[in-house]
Chains A and B, each alone.
Chain A
Amino acid sequence: MSLSVLHPSTPAEAAAAHRDPATAFIAGGTALQLSWRSPAPALTLIDVLALEPVHGIALQADGSLRIGAAVSLETLRTHATVAARAPLLAMACDSLAALAVRHLATLGGNLGWRFGDTVAALLAHRAEAELADGRRQALSDLLAHDRLPLILALHLPPPHPEEHHFYEKVGHRAAFTPARIALAVAVCIGMDGRLQDTRIGLAGAGLSGRRLLHAEAWLNACQAARLGAADRGLRAAVAADLPADPASARLAARILGGRFGRLQAGDAASEPATSP
């Protein structure tokens, strides 16, 4: 018994092969093999990179940005269209692993790894996953699967032109470690100074990726000028989003309080996104 590799020529073929529980998709392979002890388990690897629709980055007719699941994290970090249309994703890749790992590692593999830093960014960008049969599924629904189906691509709707963004990864070391938590935020400030359309994606070790919907609702009812770092309302809202993990909730609330506090001081965390 040993390991073998299948190179499917169509997504349908790959998805059909994956019905066998003794298979796993493989893209860059940087995460997959770390979970094995030598020798590798008896497994059939389904080579995702053999499929054509998983490659490339393209603007679609409906205005969304389509990012193939096999695009490398270093390409995402340095791509001009990604910087303009999906700035949180570029920021996430900037503090993810190191250059050579990022050349091998892919976006689909980062989602498949479950604790990947890009999840927070993709959630805040309202990404939908394109599946083997062409259907699109919201990322939050997709992540609920125990065994992820084949992801061909991610579709990101265009950001609001006045959107501000910030991304923060907190790890046990400053660089090159899996995140304790990664937080990605997109927010607009209305003419009346009210926060609008706040979207907060969170991921981290032991935490499945999620939007902080209570915190978003609380912030959307706020005047930007009213926010302070130690706001109890924000802390309570984040705690409601992470009921099983009070320590992460405190950490997330502190980061959000600090970053939104700076927004209040007129020091926006990032320039509003511009179209490419």
Chain B
Amino acid sequence: MSTVRFKLNTQAVSVSCAPDRRLLDILREDFGLIAAKPGCGVGRCGACMVWIDDLPANACLVMAFRLEGRSVRTYEDVAADAASAPVRDAIARCGALQCGYCTPGLAMTLTHLHQQTPRPDREQAASLLSGNLCRCTGYGGIQRSIEQLFPATPPLSADNSGDSQ
């Protein structure tokens, strides 16, 4: 047993547990935060996506001892933030969900990408979503929401072709 102290959403928290207990279990069992879902349990499906120090990370791969001093945000907090509204709207409007199991994880990655400067283009965004699997919508709706949220071509500042503007 050891104690880790970290920031969870807006609060400072501490947890006493085995050092290799998974963040996903801590969130769901100790804090009742169930937006991050258990799926594959091995980093492949993205259903358990959280942000650690503002970067997407699979909660099923993170051991408790790694949380010391870090900041964890879950979809409960991100969804309550007005900054994620464009992503939430796009997912809803484009029908990018069916059963909804993958949706919080998908929204966490999409929101992170949407808040990047410069924003990735559609092709990059689709490729950066390769760690979020959906078993039931067929990806058509997800692709439509990508089209709504990301520019068709790379932003000028990411163009390294050496051509003059």
Interface residues of chain A, those whose CB is within 8 Å of chain B, are 2-5, 28-30, 33-34, 40, 45, 47, 74, 97-101, 103-104, 175-176
Report yes or no: B128 in contact with A101, Cβ–Cβ below 8 A.
no
Residues of B within 8 Å of A28, CB to CB, are 61
Q: How far is the CA of A100 from the CA of B63 in the complex (A)?
A: 15
Interface bracket on B: 20 to 34
Least CB separation from A83: chain B residue: B160
Determine whether the beta carbon of A176 is less than 8 Å from that of B19: no
Tell me, rounded to whole Å, the shortest Cβ–Cβ distance linking B39 to chain A. 13
Identify which of B18, B56, B65 contacts A103 (C-beta below 8 A). B56
From B20, B63, B129, name the one whose CB has the most chain A CB atoms within 10 angstroms: B20
Query: Which residue on chain B has the smallest CB distance to residue A47?
Result: B65
- B40-56: CB near A (< 8 Å → 1, else 0) gives 00111010010010011
Chain B residues positioned under 8 Å from A3 (CB to CB): 18-20
Q: A29-B61, A29-B62, A30-B61 are in contact. Are A101 and B43 (CB under 8 A)?
A: yes
What B residues does A99 contact at CB under 8 A? 56, 109, 128-131
Instruction: Point out the residues of chain B lying under 8 angstroms from A34, CB to CB.
Output: 42-43
* Closest chain A residue, CB of each to CB of B50: A100
Confirm or deny: B102 has a beta carbon within 8 angstroms of a beta carbon on chain A: no
Do A104 and B58 touch across chains, with their CB atoms under 8 A apart?
Answer: yes
Q: Given contacts A100-B56, A104-B58, is CB(A33)–CB(B131) below 8 Å?
A: no
Q: A3-B20, A103-B52, A104-B61 are known; give 17 further A-B pairs, CB within 8 A.
A: A2-B18, A3-B19, A5-B2, A5-B19, A5-B65, A28-B61, A29-B62, A29-B66, A99-B128, A100-B43, A100-B46, A100-B49, A100-B57, A100-B131, A101-B58, A101-B131, A104-B57
Q: Per a CB cutoff under 8 Å, which of A33, A103, A175, A176 touches B20?
A: A33
Q: B: which residues have CB within 8 A of A?
A: 2, 18-20, 42-44, 46, 49, 52, 55-58, 61-63, 65-66, 109, 127-132
Q: Say which residue of B49, B57, B61, B128 sits within 8 Å of A33 (CB atoms).
A: B61
9 interchain pairs (CB within 8 A)?
A: A3-B20, A5-B19, A28-B61, A33-B63, A99-B109, A100-B55, A101-B58, A103-B52, A103-B57
Are B61 and A176 closer than 8 Å at their CB atoms?
A: no
CA distance A101 to B46 in the complex (A): 9
A182–B58 Cα gap in the complex (Å)? 25
Tell me the complex Cα distance, A74–B58, Å.
14
Pairs of residues from A and B, 3 with the lowest C-beta to C-beta distance, nearest first: A98-B131, A100-B56, A103-B55
- State whether A30 and B18 are in contact (beta carbons under 8 Å apart), knowing that A101-B58, A176-B130 are contacts in the complex: no
- The smallest C-beta distance from A172 to any residue of chain B, in angstroms, reads 14
On chain A, the residues within 8 Å of B132 by CB distance are: 98
The reply to whether B57 and A176 contact each other, CB–CB distance below 8 Å, is no
In the complex, which residues of chain A have a beta carbon less than 8 angstroms from the beta carbon of B129? 99
Residues of B within 8 A of A29 (CB): 61-63, 66
Q: From A176, which residue of chain B is reached at the shortest CB distance?
A: B130
Contacts of A74 in B (CB 8 A): 55
CA distance A204 to B58 in the complex (A): 25
Neighbouring A residues of B66 by C-beta, 8 Å: 29
Q: How far is the CB of B102 from chain A (nearest CB, A)?
A: 13
Chain A contacts for B65, CB-based, 8 A: 5, 47
Partner of B44, one of A33, A103, A176: A176
A63 to chain B, nearest CB (A): 23
Which residue of chain B lies nearest to A2 when distances are taken between CB atoms in the complex? Answer: B18
Bound-state Cα–Cα, A47 to B46, Å: 25
Closest chain B CB from A119 CB (angstroms): 20
Task: Determine whether the beta carbon of A40 is less than 8 Å from that of B56.
Answer: no
**Cα distance, A5 to B57, chains bound together (Å):** 21
Please, which residue of chain B has its CB at the minimum distance from the CB of A100?
B56
Q: How far is the CB of A125 from chain B (nearest CB, A)?
A: 20
